[in-house]
């Protein structure tokens, strides 16, 4: 059966795509003016955040505007303009089969000004956070240059080196003082990979110069892996919603969905997830669908939240969405356990996905996973729930 995307959702996403395409086509003067406006809004947002007292949950967050959209890109192979078009899980740049001798690389000319940036990459055709087969980088480095003229020449300094990366999406903060270019250089893929090699659908660069910490990890199972992948049918995304509701803010997102995982299994990997995402300030959790019972779920969720809070992270937990796939309504007791844990840990209440899907069960594609409209709604409900983390 063909999936029909509601007209309102389609029009909203078309607007997002059109804006990104327009920015890419604009001349240098128009792009510079758009960038100035972005940075001006971010400066105003940072001032609001500075004036606002710390809240009970760890906010307000400080803006990290995206500064790579539509910027000039040079690469080892053609077609790299798609890396800065703002479209995820669609067209991707194919970097071939990189090696130490013949690396694949993509360089973005940011221009001088930012002093600290966050570079994130997504290889979104890998579905599970740990999938690498469809072209995720395994060995790579991030370099910056102050004097390159074309992304290939000039003097480059290495800011980050990673070997043995185990996940499809990462983000790294980099000192950018006096620099103009930033470059991702990939030297190896996983031993088992697709025949075409490296695939990246987006490289985002966020400006952290204003103390930006609006960096999110969406920690979940297969439900979250689908909802937060920012595929065209799942837009407007969480980041789109925040940007529209809170001028100056454009959150960085890492979709860390462990398919089929129970909360206890994610708990066992949480130190790894923290190490992979040291600059993430907020962990948004959507777990529990695979847990055997409410007692186990509540116990493991409490331990997971405790570990994240001990690491200085803000935690927001969504109530499990209602499901119709299985006869027993196991969601209600799990959500009662979740509510108790959240209250005891002093969490900002997350979105009530149980109520939304219980009223709209037709938005569950297979009785468990949200369809396109349901996915868009989850992002909207998350954005509305976390509004207190953003200054007014």
Q: Give residue-wise pLDDT tens across range 241-259.
A: 999 999 999 999 999 999 9
Residues with Cβ within 8 Å of residue 307, at least 6 apart in sequence: 267, 270, 271
> How far separated are the first and last CA of the chain, in Å rounded?
44
- When pLDDT is averaged across residues 179-200 and rounded to a whole number, the result is 97
pLDDT-derived band at 33 (thresholds 50, 70, 90) equals confident
261 vs 327 pLDDT, higher one = 261
In eight-state DSSP terms, residue 352 is B
User: What pLDDT does 18 receive?
Assistant: 47
Buried b (16+ CB within 10 A) or exposed e, 138-156: bbbbbbbbeebeebeeeeb
Q: What percent of the chain has pLDDT over 90?
A: 88
Three-state DSSP class for residue 140: strand
Q: Give residue-wise pLDDT tens across range 55-70.
A: 999 999 999 999 999 9
DSSP for 147-177 reads S-SSSSSS--EEEEEESS--SSEEEEEEE-T
**Cβ–Cβ < 8 Å for 35, 24:** no
Record the tokens describing residue 127, joined without a space.
């579905």
Q: Compute CA distances 10 → 92, 224, 231, whole Å.
A: 21, 21, 12
Record the tokens describing residue 337, joined without a space.
């356990």
In eight-state DSSP terms, residue 285 is E
Three-state DSSP class for residue 229: coil
Q: Give residue-wise pLDDT tens across range 121-136.
A: 999 888 999 999 999 9
Mean pLDDT of the chain: 93
Nearest alpha carbon to residue 266 among 257, 253, 279:
257
pLDDT-derived band at 20 (thresholds 50, 70, 90) equals low
Nearest alpha carbon to residue 114 among 60, 35, 172, 187:
35
Residue ranges with strand state E in the chain: 73-75, 93-96, 104-109, 116-122, 139-145, 157-162, 169-175, 181-188, 198-200, 202-207, 215-220, 252-257, 282-286, 314-317
User: What pLDDT does 29 receive?
Assistant: 81
Residues with Cβ within 8 Å of residue 44, at least 6 apart in sequence: 247, 248
pLDDT-derived band at 11 (thresholds 50, 70, 90) equals very low
Q: Give residue-wise pLDDT tens across range 90-110.
A: 999 999 999 999 999 999 999
Record the tokens describing residue 305, joined without a space.
């939240």
Decide if pLDDT at 4 tops 70.
no
**Cβ–Cβ < 8 Å for 181, 248:** no
User: What pLDDT does 180 receive?
Assistant: 98
What predicted TM-score, i.e. pTM, was given to this entire model? 0.92
């Amino acid at each position: 059966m063909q999936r029909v995307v509601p007209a309102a959702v389609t029009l909203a996403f078309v607007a997002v795509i059109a804006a990104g395409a327009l920015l890419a086509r604009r001349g240098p003067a128009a792009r510079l003016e758009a960038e100035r406006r972005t940075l001006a809004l971010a400066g105003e947002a940072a001032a609001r955040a500075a004036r606002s007292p710390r809240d009970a949950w760890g906010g307000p967050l400080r803006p990290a505007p995206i500064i790579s959209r539509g910027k000039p890109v040079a690469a080892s192979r053609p077609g790299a303009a798609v890396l800065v078009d703002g479209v995820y899980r669609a067209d991707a740049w194919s970097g071939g089969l990189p090696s130490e001798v013949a690396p694949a690389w993509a360089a973005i000319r940011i221009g001088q000004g930012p002093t600290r940036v966050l570079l994130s990459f997504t290889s979104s055709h890998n579905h599970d956070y740990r999938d690498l087969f469809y072209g995720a980088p395994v060995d790579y480095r991030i370099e910056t240059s102050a004097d390159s003229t074309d992304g290939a020449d000039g003097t480059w300094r290495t800011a980050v080196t990673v070997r043995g990366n185990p996940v499809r999406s990462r983000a790294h903060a980099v000192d950018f003082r006096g620099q103009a270019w930033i470059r991702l250089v990939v030297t190896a893929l996983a031993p088992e990979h697709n025949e075409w090699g490296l695939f990246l659908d987006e490289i985002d660069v966020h400006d952290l110069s204003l103390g930006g910490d609006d960096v999110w990890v969406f920690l979940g199972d297969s439900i979250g892996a689908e909802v937060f992948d920012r595929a065209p049918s799942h837009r407007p995304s969480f980041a789109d919603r925040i940007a529209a509701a809170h001028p100056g803010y454009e959150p960085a997102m890492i979709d860390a969905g462990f398919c089929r995982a129970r909360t206890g299994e994610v708990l066992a990997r949480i130190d790894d997830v923290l190490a992979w995402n040291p600059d993430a300030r907020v962990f948004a959790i959507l777990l529990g669908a695979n847990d055997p019972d409410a007692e186990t779920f509540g116990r493991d969720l409490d331990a997971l939240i405790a570990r994240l809070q001990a690491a200085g992270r803000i935690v927001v937990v969504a109530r499990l969405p209602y499901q119709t796939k299985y006869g027993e309504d196991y969601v209600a007791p799990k959500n009662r356990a979740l509510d108790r844990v959240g209250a005891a840990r002093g969490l900002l209440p997350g979105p009530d996905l149980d109520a939304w899907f219980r009223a709209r069960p037709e938005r569950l594609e297979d009785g468990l996973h949200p369809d396109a409209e349901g996915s868009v709604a989850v992002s909207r409900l998350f954005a509305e729930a976390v509004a207190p983390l953003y200054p007014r």
